[in-house]
Amino acid sequence: MPQRARQALALTKALVRGGHRRQTAVAEILRPANLFQPHATTSADRYPVEFAAAADALTTAAPSILSFGCSSGEELLSLRGQFPDARIHGVDINPVAVRRARRAVADDPAITVARAGDAEGLEQASYDVVTALAVFRHADLNEAPPRCDPTLRFADFERTVDRLARCVRPGGVLVIRHANFRFTDCAVAADFEAVRTGFASAGEGGLLTPIYGRDDALIGTTDRDDGIYRRTR
């Protein structure tokens, strides 16, 4: 069977099966502008160490939290578990994810969900915690090809992270995990200090995360800087 026909068949099967596979298939069919990871993989309590460390870094017990790339809402409910008094806003680029996430949090009036592909419409310096977990990556880079730009570009990462970082209040934290790029390669990182990096390296599905530089060329698979950063100014 020709490759295009095989791909079409796989997408059709995923649409019929439902769940995260349907969500991923919708992203691959729609290909919205600024899409990073199309895969919708998520689960409850995926980041207990990171969330506990973020909580320790805060001075408020009732933070305002932005979860960028919240997928179908498990991450929002996990954040609620760590931050019982938080106001939480989830954003995802995928319309099916947003619909599922809204259903998942329907009983919690302090959690809202919106569809967006960046933080452009969000108020600057208005969140104590901003998370972007397994968003700035792509499954097609898991084999560490020498360049990432046929799939993702550093320029898109930097523009998107810049807007997200500006949503963090001075004193608040940005939490980035499993990215194919380094936060400290972005100009906006000058306004942040590292609180904690060096979390476990296994990416989604136990895969390593190849890292690409400002020039979209492969740096390696170990030079990561993902973790928790505090806004200093």
Ligand X SMILES: C[S@@+](CC[C@H](N)C(=O)[O-])C[C@H]1O[C@@H](n2cnc3c(N)ncnc32)[C@H](O)[C@@H]1O
Q: Does 97 bind ligand X (CB under 6 A)?
A: yes
CB nearer to ligand X: pick between 70 and 179: 70
Q: Does 138 bind ligand X (CB under 6 A)?
A: no
Q: Which stretch binds ligand X (CB under 6 A): 36-44, 52-60, 206-214, 215-223?
A: 36-44
x/- binding map, residues 179-218, to ligand X, per CB under 6 A? -------------------------x--------------
Query: Cα(2)–Cα(208) distance, rounded to whole angstroms?
Result: 31
Residues binding ligand X: number (CB under 6 A): 25
Q: Does 39 bind ligand X (CB under 6 A)?
A: yes
Q: Does 42 bind ligand X (CB under 6 A)?
A: yes
Query: Cα(63)–Cα(230) distance, rounded to whole angstroms?
Result: 14
x/- binding map, residues 144-183, to ligand X, per CB under 6 A? ----------------------------------------
| DSSP states along the chain | --HHHHHHHHHHHHHHH-HHHHHHHHHHHH--TT---------TTS-HHHHHHHHHH-S-SS-EEEEET-TTTHHHHHHHHH-TT-EEEEEES-HHHHHHHHHHTTT-TTEEEEE-SSSTTSPTT-EEEEEEES-S--GGGTT--SB-TTT--HHHHHHHHHHHHHTEEEEEEEEEES-SS-GGGSGGGGGEEEEEE------GGG----EE-TTSBEEESS----EEEEE--
**Which of 133, 174, 176, 189 contacts ligand X by CB under 6 A?**
133
**Which of 15, 46, 110, 138 contacts ligand X by CB under 6 A?**
46
List the one residue out of 211, 206, 207, 166 whose CA is nearest residue 185: 211
**Which of 22, 25, 26, 37 contacts ligand X by CB under 6 A?**
37
Q: Does 94 bind ligand X (CB under 6 A)?
A: yes
CB nearer to ligand X: pick between 116 and 171: 116
**Which of 14, 50, 64, 69 contacts ligand X by CB under 6 A?**
69
Contacts with ligand X by CB under 6 A lie at: 27, 34-37, 39-42, 46, 68-71, 75, 91-94, 97, 117, 133-135, 204
